[in-house]
């Protein structure tokens, strides 16, 4: 079974500052990794995903994440955040088997202040 730990429940930053949201996972099998974003009072939407290949994955809205197999991490980064990036961010993992379900972390609330 897989599990996901998001190390920070809340991350406050100032506008135009860089940000990193941390995610570690545990799994006994090869995994797929995802970051989803939830804006206030909305459902979740996919930011980016790692399936295989290059360990640096680029997503929407200028976000990127790096898969580190040895450290079992998939941290999300953005070099310069905007007020509109204020949202909750969820890391999720799925095993690569055909019947593997998606397991979510508890979420990190990013607040971008002016």
Tell me if 51 contacts other proteins by CB under 8 A: yes
Tell me if 44 contacts other proteins by CB under 8 A: yes
Size of site (CB under 8 A) for other proteins: 26
Smaller CB separation from other proteins, 36 or 74: 36
Report strand pairing: 10-14 vs 108-113.
parallel
Cα(36)–Cα(59) distance, integer angstroms? 10
Tell me if 7 contacts other proteins by CB under 8 A: no
Cα(69)–Cα(62) distance, integer angstroms? 23
**How many CA atoms within 13 Å lie on the side-chain side of 12?**
2
Judged by CB under 8 A, which stretch of 15-23, 53-61, 78-86, 98-106 contacts other proteins?
98-106
Tell me if 11 contacts other proteins by CB under 8 A: no
Exposure class string for 35-62: b at 16+ Cβ within 10 A, else e: bbbeeeeeebeebbbbeeeeeebebeee
Q: How far is the CB of 69 from other proteins (least distance, A)?
A: 16
Q: How far is the CB of 50 from other proteins (least distance, A)?
A: 8
| Two structure tokens written together for 12 | 């406050």
* 91 three-class SS: strand
Smaller CB separation from other proteins, 15 or 72: 72
What is the binding site for other proteins (CB under 8 A)? 9, 32, 34, 36, 41-46, 49, 51, 90, 94-102, 104-107
């Amino acid at each position: 079974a897989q599990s996901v730990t998001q190390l920070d429940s809340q991350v406050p930053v100032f506008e135009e500052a860089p940000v990193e949201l941390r995610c570690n996972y545990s799994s006994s099998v090869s995994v797929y990794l995802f970051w989803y974003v939830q804006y206030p009072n909305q459902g979740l939407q996919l930011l980016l995903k790692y399936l295989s290949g290059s360990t640096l994955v680029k997503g929407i809205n200028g976000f990127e994440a790096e898969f580190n197999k040895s450290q079992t991490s998939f941290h999300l980064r953005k070099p310069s955040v905007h007020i509109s990036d204020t949202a909750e961010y969820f890391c999720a993992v799925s095993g690569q088997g055909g019947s593997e379900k998606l397991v979510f972390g508890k979420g990190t609330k990013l607040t971008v202040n002016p």
